[in-house]
Protein backbone atom coordinates (compact mmCIF):
# COMPACT_ATOMS: atom_id res chain seq x y z
CA UNK A 1 0.00 0.00 0.00
CA UNK A 2 1.36 3.40 -0.97
CA UNK A 3 0.69 6.35 1.31
CA UNK A 4 0.73 9.93 0.06
CA UNK A 5 0.76 12.50 2.86
CA UNK A 6 -0.68 15.92 2.14
CA UNK A 7 -0.69 19.05 4.27
CA UNK A 8 -4.13 20.42 3.50
CA UNK A 9 -7.52 19.18 2.36
CA UNK A 10 -6.93 21.00 -0.93
CA UNK A 11 -3.62 19.18 -1.40
CA UNK A 12 -5.32 15.84 -0.68
CA UNK A 13 -7.75 16.70 -3.48
CA UNK A 14 -4.91 17.64 -5.82
CA UNK A 15 -2.98 14.40 -5.20
CA UNK A 16 -6.03 12.16 -5.57
CA UNK A 17 -7.18 14.06 -8.67
CA UNK A 18 -3.73 13.61 -10.21
CA UNK A 19 -4.13 9.84 -9.96
CA UNK A 20 -7.61 9.97 -11.53
CA UNK A 21 -6.42 12.35 -14.26
CA UNK A 22 -3.55 9.99 -15.09
CA UNK A 23 -6.04 7.13 -15.36
CA UNK A 24 -8.45 9.03 -17.64
CA UNK A 25 -5.65 10.42 -19.79
CA UNK A 26 -4.05 7.02 -20.41
CA UNK A 27 -7.42 5.26 -20.84
CA UNK A 28 -10.12 7.72 -21.96
CA UNK A 29 -12.86 5.06 -21.73
CA UNK A 30 -12.01 4.21 -18.12
CA UNK A 31 -14.56 2.81 -15.69
CA UNK A 32 -14.27 4.95 -12.57
CA UNK A 33 -15.72 3.74 -9.27
CA UNK A 34 -16.78 6.88 -7.45
CA UNK A 35 -17.50 7.78 -3.84
CA UNK A 36 -19.56 10.35 -1.98
CA UNK A 37 -19.09 12.10 1.37
CA UNK A 38 -17.01 15.13 2.27
CA UNK A 39 -13.66 13.41 1.63
CA UNK A 40 -13.72 13.49 -2.21
CA UNK A 41 -15.07 17.06 -2.51
CA UNK A 42 -11.71 18.74 -3.14
CA UNK A 43 -10.81 15.94 -5.57
CA UNK A 44 -13.99 16.52 -7.56
CA UNK A 45 -13.40 20.30 -7.53
CA UNK A 46 -9.90 19.75 -8.95
CA UNK A 47 -11.17 17.40 -11.67
CA UNK A 48 -13.85 19.94 -12.62
CA UNK A 49 -11.20 22.68 -12.78
CA UNK A 50 -9.03 20.59 -15.11
CA UNK A 51 -12.04 19.87 -17.30
CA UNK A 52 -12.80 23.62 -17.43
CA UNK A 53 -9.23 24.43 -18.44
CA UNK A 54 -9.41 21.86 -21.22
CA UNK A 55 -6.91 19.48 -19.62
CA UNK A 56 -9.28 16.58 -18.99
CA UNK A 57 -11.95 14.94 -21.12
CA UNK A 58 -14.54 12.66 -19.53
CA UNK A 59 -16.64 12.09 -22.66
CA UNK A 60 -15.81 8.38 -22.86
CA UNK A 61 -15.69 7.66 -19.13
CA UNK A 62 -18.24 5.42 -17.40
CA UNK A 63 -18.84 5.79 -13.67
CA UNK A 64 -20.22 3.39 -11.09
CA UNK A 65 -20.90 4.77 -7.64
CA UNK A 66 -20.44 2.78 -4.50
CA UNK A 67 -23.71 3.24 -2.70
CA UNK A 68 -27.03 4.94 -2.07
CA UNK A 69 -29.42 5.40 0.82
CA UNK A 70 -32.47 3.14 0.72
CA UNK A 71 -35.63 5.22 0.38
CA UNK A 72 -34.08 8.40 -1.02
CA UNK A 73 -34.89 9.22 -4.66
CA UNK A 74 -32.21 10.86 -6.79
CA UNK A 75 -34.02 14.19 -6.46
CA UNK A 76 -33.55 14.19 -2.65
CA UNK A 77 -30.76 16.59 -1.69
CA UNK A 78 -29.12 14.02 0.58
CA UNK A 79 -29.22 11.19 -1.93
CA UNK A 80 -25.88 10.16 -3.35
CA UNK A 81 -27.22 10.52 -6.91
CA UNK A 82 -27.99 14.18 -6.15
CA UNK A 83 -24.54 14.60 -4.57
CA UNK A 84 -22.80 13.24 -7.66
CA UNK A 85 -24.88 15.30 -10.08
CA UNK A 86 -24.20 18.46 -8.08
CA UNK A 87 -20.56 18.01 -7.16
CA UNK A 88 -19.16 16.34 -10.25
CA UNK A 89 -21.34 15.20 -13.13
CA UNK A 90 -22.85 18.62 -13.88
CA UNK A 91 -19.37 20.16 -13.86
CA UNK A 92 -17.65 17.86 -16.35
CA UNK A 93 -18.50 16.42 -19.77
CA UNK A 94 -19.32 12.88 -18.64
CA UNK A 95 -22.31 11.43 -20.53
CA UNK A 96 -25.16 11.29 -17.95
CA UNK A 97 -26.26 7.97 -19.49
CA UNK A 98 -22.89 6.53 -18.52
CA UNK A 99 -23.17 7.50 -14.85
CA UNK A 100 -24.42 4.76 -12.55
CA UNK A 101 -25.59 4.92 -8.94
CA UNK A 102 -27.48 2.01 -7.36
CA UNK A 103 -31.14 2.82 -6.84
CA UNK A 104 -32.34 3.10 -3.27
CA UNK A 105 -35.95 3.29 -4.36
CA UNK A 106 -36.17 0.18 -6.55
CA UNK A 107 -39.32 -1.82 -5.75
CA UNK A 108 -37.29 -5.01 -5.62
CA UNK A 109 -34.04 -4.12 -3.88
CA UNK A 110 -32.59 -7.63 -4.18
CA UNK A 111 -33.11 -7.47 -7.95
CA UNK A 112 -31.41 -4.06 -7.95
CA UNK A 113 -28.41 -5.61 -6.15
CA UNK A 114 -28.16 -8.30 -8.81
CA UNK A 115 -28.58 -5.74 -11.60
CA UNK A 116 -25.73 -3.63 -10.19
CA UNK A 117 -23.36 -6.59 -9.91
CA UNK A 118 -24.18 -7.59 -13.49
CA UNK A 119 -23.64 -4.03 -14.69
CA UNK A 120 -20.16 -3.90 -13.16
CA UNK A 121 -19.35 -7.28 -14.67
CA UNK A 122 -20.63 -6.23 -18.10
CA UNK A 123 -18.43 -3.14 -17.93
CA UNK A 124 -15.44 -5.44 -17.43
CA UNK A 125 -14.86 -4.29 -13.86
CA UNK A 126 -13.51 -1.05 -12.46
CA UNK A 127 -10.26 0.59 -13.58
CA UNK A 128 -9.91 2.97 -10.64
CA UNK A 129 -12.00 2.89 -7.48
CA UNK A 130 -12.08 6.02 -5.35
CA UNK A 131 -12.94 5.44 -1.69
CA UNK A 132 -13.47 7.38 1.49
CA UNK A 133 -13.43 5.62 4.86
CA UNK A 134 -16.00 5.71 7.63
CA UNK A 135 -14.85 6.40 11.22
CA UNK A 136 -15.62 2.72 11.89
CA UNK A 137 -13.55 1.52 8.91
CA UNK A 138 -16.42 1.12 6.46
CA UNK A 139 -15.86 1.48 2.73
CA UNK A 140 -18.86 2.33 0.59
CA UNK A 141 -21.47 1.22 3.09
CA UNK A 142 -19.74 -2.08 3.86
CA UNK A 143 -20.18 -1.84 7.61
CA UNK A 144 -18.18 -3.79 10.21
CA UNK A 145 -19.57 -7.33 10.31
CA UNK A 146 -18.52 -10.93 10.96
CA UNK A 147 -17.79 -11.51 7.25
CA UNK A 148 -16.90 -9.64 4.09
CA UNK A 149 -19.86 -9.28 1.70
CA UNK A 150 -18.83 -10.02 -1.88
CA UNK A 151 -21.61 -8.51 -3.93
CA UNK A 152 -23.96 -5.55 -3.87
CA UNK A 153 -26.19 -5.87 -0.83
CA UNK A 154 -28.62 -4.10 1.46
CA UNK A 155 -27.08 -3.07 4.73
CA UNK A 156 -28.47 -1.87 8.04
CA UNK A 157 -26.48 1.24 8.91
CA UNK A 158 -24.76 1.21 12.28
CA UNK A 159 -25.72 3.85 14.81
CA UNK A 160 -22.18 5.26 14.53
CA UNK A 161 -22.52 5.73 10.78
CA UNK A 162 -25.96 7.32 11.11
CA UNK A 163 -24.56 9.69 13.75
CA UNK A 164 -21.56 10.50 11.54
CA UNK A 165 -23.79 11.28 8.57
CA UNK A 166 -26.46 13.12 10.59
CA UNK A 167 -24.60 16.39 9.95
CA UNK A 168 -26.01 16.41 6.42
CA UNK A 169 -29.62 16.00 7.59
CA UNK A 170 -31.77 18.27 9.75
CA UNK A 171 -32.02 15.57 12.43
CA UNK A 172 -30.74 12.04 13.13
CA UNK A 173 -34.30 10.73 12.63
CA UNK A 174 -34.11 11.71 8.98
CA UNK A 175 -30.95 9.65 8.33
CA UNK A 176 -32.03 6.49 6.50
CA UNK A 177 -31.59 3.24 8.41
CA UNK A 178 -30.58 1.19 5.36
CA UNK A 179 -28.40 1.55 2.30
CA UNK A 180 -27.55 -0.35 -0.85
CA UNK A 181 -23.82 -0.77 -1.36
CA UNK A 182 -21.38 -2.32 -3.76
CA UNK A 183 -19.68 -5.31 -2.15
CA UNK A 184 -16.02 -6.00 -1.52
CA UNK A 185 -15.42 -8.09 -4.65
CA UNK A 186 -15.57 -5.35 -7.33
CA UNK A 187 -13.57 -3.06 -5.05
CA UNK A 188 -10.83 -5.67 -4.62
CA UNK A 189 -10.98 -6.50 -8.35
CA UNK A 190 -10.53 -2.83 -9.31
CA UNK A 191 -7.21 -2.40 -11.08
CA UNK A 192 -6.39 0.53 -8.83
CA UNK A 193 -7.81 1.84 -5.57
CA UNK A 194 -7.37 5.38 -4.23
CA UNK A 195 -8.59 5.95 -0.67
CA UNK A 196 -8.95 9.45 0.72
CA UNK A 197 -8.89 10.25 4.44
CA UNK A 198 -9.04 13.72 5.96
CA UNK A 199 -9.03 14.85 9.59
CA UNK A 200 -8.38 13.34 12.99
CA UNK A 201 -11.79 11.66 13.00
CA UNK A 202 -10.33 9.19 10.50
CA UNK A 203 -7.03 8.55 12.31
CA UNK A 204 -8.08 5.41 14.19
CA UNK A 205 -9.85 3.92 11.17
CA UNK A 206 -6.76 4.51 9.02
CA UNK A 207 -4.52 2.94 11.66
CA UNK A 208 -6.78 -0.14 11.91
CA UNK A 209 -7.01 -0.37 8.15
CA UNK A 210 -3.29 -0.22 7.46
CA UNK A 211 -1.72 -1.70 10.58
CA UNK A 212 -4.43 -3.81 12.16
CA UNK A 213 -5.44 -7.37 11.34
CA UNK A 214 -7.36 -8.07 8.15
CA UNK A 215 -10.86 -8.51 9.51
CA UNK A 216 -14.46 -7.74 8.48
CA UNK A 217 -14.66 -5.86 11.79
CA UNK A 218 -12.70 -3.20 9.86
CA UNK A 219 -13.85 -3.69 6.25
CA UNK A 220 -11.16 -1.36 4.85
CA UNK A 221 -8.44 -3.66 6.25
CA UNK A 222 -8.96 -6.01 3.29
CA UNK A 223 -7.25 -3.37 1.16
CA UNK A 224 -3.96 -4.59 2.66
CA UNK A 225 -4.33 -7.39 0.12
CA UNK A 226 -4.97 -5.10 -2.84
CA UNK A 227 -2.19 -4.99 -5.43
CA UNK A 228 -2.43 -1.32 -6.27
CA UNK A 229 -3.88 0.72 -3.43
CA UNK A 230 -2.89 4.31 -2.68
CA UNK A 231 -3.98 6.15 0.45
CA UNK A 232 -4.06 9.94 0.12
CA UNK A 233 -4.44 11.53 3.54
CA UNK A 234 -3.67 14.63 5.54
CA UNK A 235 -1.39 14.70 8.57
CA UNK A 236 -4.24 14.49 11.07
CA UNK A 237 -5.64 11.36 9.47
CA UNK A 238 -2.14 9.85 9.46
CA UNK A 239 -1.28 10.94 13.01
CA UNK A 240 -2.09 7.68 14.84
CA UNK A 241 -0.47 5.65 12.11
CA UNK A 242 2.83 7.30 12.77
CA UNK A 243 2.52 6.61 16.47
CA UNK A 244 1.61 2.96 16.20
CA UNK A 245 4.24 2.25 13.53
CA UNK A 246 6.93 4.21 15.32
CA UNK A 247 7.87 5.52 11.88
CA UNK A 248 8.77 9.11 11.16
Of 145, 122, 144, 148, give the one whose Cα is nearest residue 133.
144
Closer residue to ligand GLP (CB): 30 or 129 = 129
* Annotation marks residue 117 as catalytic: no
- CB of residue 141 vs ligand GLP: minimum separation in angstroms? 5
Site for ligand GLP in 7-46 (CB under 6 A): 35-39
> Smaller CB distance to ligand GLP: residue 58 or 141?
141
CB 222 within 8 A of CB 209: no
Q: Residue 228 catalytic?
A: no
67 tagged catalytic: yes
Q: Which of 203, 191, 200, 198 is nearest to 229 (CA)?
A: 191
Query: Can you tell me whether residue 5 is helix, strand or coil?
Result: strand
Pairing of strands 67-69, 178-181: antiparallel
Judged by beta carbon, residue 50 or residue 141, the one nearer ligand GLP is 141
Task: Report the alpha-carbon distance of residue 14 to residue 1 in Å, rounded.
Answer: 19
66 binds ligand GLP (CB under 6 A): yes
Angle between helices 9-26 and 41-52 (to 10 degrees): 50
In the complex, minimum distance from the CB of residue 55 to ligand GLP, in angstroms, rounded to a whole number? 26
Annotated active-site residue in 100, 112, 138, 165: 138
- C-alpha dist (Å) from residue 120 to 68, 102, 160, 225: 16, 11, 29, 21
* Number of residues engaging ligand GLP in binding (CB under 6 A): 14
Active-site residue (options: 65, 117, 127, 136): 136
Give the x/- contact pattern for ligand GLP in 67-106, rule: CB under 6 A.
Answer: x---------------------------------------
The SS3 of residue 15 is helix
The sheet carrying 192-197 orders its strands as: 2-6, 229-234, 192-197, 128-131, 31-34, 62-65, 99-100
> For ligand GLP, which is the closer residue by CB, 134 or 212?
134
Active site residue 149: no
Nearest CB to ligand GLP, comparing residues 38 and 59: 38
Interactions with ligand GLP, residue window 125-184 (CB under 6 A)? 132-134, 140-141, 161, 165
Report the interface residues with ligand GLP, using CB under 6 A.
35-39, 66-67, 132-134, 140-141, 161, 165
Residues designated catalytic:
67, 136, 138, 143
Amino acid sequence: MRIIAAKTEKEVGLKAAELIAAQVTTKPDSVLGLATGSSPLTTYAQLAAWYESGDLDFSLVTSVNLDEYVGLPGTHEQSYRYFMNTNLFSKINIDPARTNVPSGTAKDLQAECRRYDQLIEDLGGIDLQLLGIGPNGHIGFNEPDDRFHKGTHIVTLTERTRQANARFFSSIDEVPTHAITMGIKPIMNAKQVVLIAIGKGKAQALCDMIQGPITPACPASILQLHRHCTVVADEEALSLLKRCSGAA
